[in-house]
Structure 1
Amino acid sequence: MRAKISSQKNSQFLGIPRIVLPALALLPLLLTGCGHPNIVKIHHAPDYKQPISKEGRYQNTYPGQQSYPFTCEADCYQAQTTLQCQSDSPAEQCRYTGPQANIENTSGFKVRWFGHASFQISTSDGQQILLDPVTEQFDWPVNWGFHLLRGFSRGLPQGLNDQILSNANVVLYSHIHYDHFNKADIERIGNKPDYLVPLGFADHFPKGAYRINEMAWYSQQNFSSLQIHAVPAHHFSNRILVPLVYEDFAKSAWNGWLLQSHGKSLFFAGDTGYSQHFKDIRQRYGAIDVCLLPIASYYHKEDGARYRNVHTTPEDALSAAVELGCKVMIPWGYGNASWKMGDHSSHSALQRLLTVRQRIQDKPEGKVPLLILNEGEEVRP
């Protein structure tokens, strides 16, 4: 059966005036709710100890600067006939119209993409999982500062409505950055589902009798026929934006997630740079049927090395797909409703992915099956 598609950051200073920064740093304390206490459980893998410093800050498995399998050096953003855009250079406000990979007998999951890193995953027996659901802007006051000083706001994601939020059985968050976790969404989702989050994450939730499972790398939780594994990512975390205030830096961890159901597997990388951890995941769990891999937020004119260290380029994502043994790769991070942080335009990352893949057709990375979605679309097995 062929795929059926239907329409349905980081820590850098944002330029907020310094005179208001101390007040903004105190807002999380002032706005903390006083509802019913949350129910928090912490899960560790019996055979793995997640790296953490003596100061209690989480660390990447492979810290420091990474080496990359290959890099596109020139003419990396070629116009594509499969991208219908308002502007080809850069690729702005686009829709993908090209061919899709055949996912016959490889999925077992229904995947719907709402934009940026937000997905709904449905299993054959009715489990509804949300990945990094963020419905609007960053939490206040960052949304205000971003719109005022950067000059644009994120468009609303297509289809991520209250019905979908309230029907979730399990909600997974990869890390606490504002574009992946918005506290305002928690109250909309409610306390019916189980929340699976990285270590040190629960303190960022509002109070409201939420069931929160802090998951160390390689720990596991079961929900009927669904197994969810926390896996490493190569990233960082912080929530406070005031320069020189690092109290919360790396005080919570950052995860990828691996879902297994009825013999099929789906991998969500979260925000991550390229490192050896992809090979580690493959070694532990075997080849993966569907991989949701980020391809955006790697570009920065003055500090590209630092951005790439924690965000995969499109070519890095292709290398990761090979190392993970992905039978199909679904890229994310671009889009008309994206925040365009660390990107040339709304679809420059997708434009680069298609350009690079065309040039390396003789390499394993050039043969990775791609299933490219527009925001709001879903794919069924």
Structure 2
Amino acid sequence: MTLQLQGAKITWLGHATFKITTPSNKVILIDPWLEHNPACPAEARKFEHLDLILATHGHSDHIGDAVATAKQYKPQVIAIVELANWLSSKGVENTIGINKGGSVVIDNITISMTHALHTSGLEDGSYGGEPAGYVIELENGLKIYHAGDTMPFTDMQIIRELYAPDIAMLPIGDFFTMGPRGAALATRLLGVKHVIPMHYATFPVLRGTPAELREELGKLGLDQVEVIEMKPGQTIS
């Protein structure tokens, strides 16, 4: 089954950074790591406008450019409460601190925060709250799950029951997150039919590959799942 985005666009900027353009031309940036992201094309680091930033956790390879980008484009910024407070302390305006299980509706887009199993310490030693993921329901009803940095966990079944995402962005790199085998199990728990692999190949240690994910999905009898292998800077629509 080929993914139908129904007027939306998804651009992978490398690592765990994505730009989502909604059918009403709202632009959402997830985990803004741009200038020092070796996988992010230089031409993709600027935006005509930016409406929302979502931060999954406090590691620099996820929020390295959150402060600068937020100050430049003045979007609303969503993060777990402690991380939102930290961003606000750095001069970021329009922060919204929510917590796991909570949702906020902005411009007919529903952002729901989910659990993730990882860490979230900030480089300056501050407490960044807990890591999280997001389910983003666009104006057209399409639901996109960005898992953040995580391993598989059985409560992904709750994400399936509560939100029924259409597509999942899952880390596959291993070492700092789950690898292909874990991502295949996560796919089964979530019940999604479309997966975009992320958080791989940025550095040599992130060795998981989309081909290995397809192999592991096959072992679980999930050959029908579409693995959408993107190149940094590529847009699907």
**Fold in common (TM above 0.5):** yes
For the residue of structure 2 that corresponds to 1:367, the secondary structure is coil
Counterpart of 1:365 in structure 2 is 222
| AA at the equivalent of 1:349 | G
Cα distance in 1, alignment partners of residues 25 and 217 from structure 2: 39
Asked if 1:230 corresponds to 2:113, the answer is: yes
Q: How does 1:156-175 map to 2 (within 5 A)?
A: 157-158=40-41, 159-162=43-46, 164=47, 167-175=49-57
Counterpart of 2:122 in structure 1 is 239
Cα distance in 1, alignment partners of residues 92 and 235 from structure 2: 32
CA offset at residue 263 of structure 1? 2.0
For the residue of structure 1 that corresponds to 2:111, the secondary structure is strand
Aligned residues: CA RMSD: 2.3
Asked if 1:285 corresponds to 2:170, the answer is: no
| AA at the equivalent of 2:171 | P
Q: How does 1:303-322 map to 2 (within 5 A)?
A: 307=176, 311-322=177-188
Q: Structure 1, residues 155-177: CA drift from partner, whole Å, max 9, x if none?
A: 26113322x1x611000000001
Cα distance in 1, alignment partners of residues 160 and 98 from structure 2: 19
CA offset at residue 208 of structure 1? 3.1
Cα distance in 1, alignment partners of residues 189 and 49 from structure 2: 34
TM-score by length of 2: 0.88
Tell me if the contact between 1:273 and 1:312 (Cα under 8 Å) persists in the aligned partners: yes
1:324 to 190, 199, 204: 190
1:127 to 16, 26, 43: 26
Tell me if the contact between 2:118 and 2:131 (Cα under 8 Å) persists in the aligned partners: yes
Cα distance in 2, alignment partners of residues 360 and 112 from structure 1: 24
Cα distance in 1, alignment partners of residues 60 and 149 from structure 2: 12
CA offset at residue 362 of structure 1? 5.8
Measured at CA, do residues 366 and 316 of structure 1 come closer, stay the same or move farther in structure 2, by a change above 3 Å?
farther
Overall identity of the aligned pairs, in % = 23
| AA at the equivalent of 2:130 | A
CA offset at residue 379 of structure 1? 0.3
Asked if 1:260 corresponds to 2:137, the answer is: yes
CA offset at residue 204 of structure 1? 2.7
Counterpart of 1:102 in structure 2 is 2
Tell me if the contact between 1:227 and 1:260 (Cα under 8 Å) persists in the aligned partners: yes
| AA at the equivalent of 1:102 | T
Counterpart of 1:116 in structure 2 is 15
CA offset at residue 209 of structure 1? 5.5
Tell me if the contact between 1:322 and 1:364 (Cα under 8 Å) persists in the aligned partners: no
For these two proteins, the number of residue pairs brought into alignment is: 233
For the residue of structure 2 that corresponds to 1:236, the secondary structure is coil
Cα distance in 1, alignment partners of residues 92 and 196 from structure 2: 34
Counterpart of 2:63 in structure 1 is 181
Counterpart of 1:270 in structure 2 is 148
CA offset at residue 186 of structure 1? 2.1
| AA at the equivalent of 1:260 | E
Measured at CA, do residues 329 and 360 of structure 1 come closer, stay the same or move farther in structure 2, by a change above 3 Å?
closer
2:35 to 130, 136, 140: 136
| AA at the equivalent of 1:123 | T
Cα distance in 2, alignment partners of residues 359 and 349 from structure 1: 11
- Greater CA radius of gyration, 1 or 2? 1
Gaps of 5+ in 2: none
Cα distance in 1, alignment partners of residues 208 and 157 from structure 2: 24
Tell me if the contact between 1:107 and 1:265 (Cα under 8 Å) persists in the aligned partners: no
CA offset at residue 213 of structure 1? 0.7
Asked if 1:294 corresponds to 2:165, the answer is: no
Counterpart of 1:43 in structure 2 is none
TM-score by length of 1: 0.56
Measured at CA, do residues 107 and 318 of structure 1 come closer, stay the same or move farther in structure 2, by a change above 3 Å?
farther
Counterpart of 2:94 in structure 1 is 211
Cα distance in 2, alignment partners of residues 360 and 174 from structure 1: 26
Q: Structure 1, residues 127-165: CA drift from partner, whole Å, max 9, x if none?
A: 11000011123xxxxxxxxxxxxxxxx526113322x1x
Q: Which has the higher contact order (CA 8 A, sep 6+)?
A: 1
| AA at the equivalent of 1:103 | L
Counterpart of 1:354 in structure 2 is 211
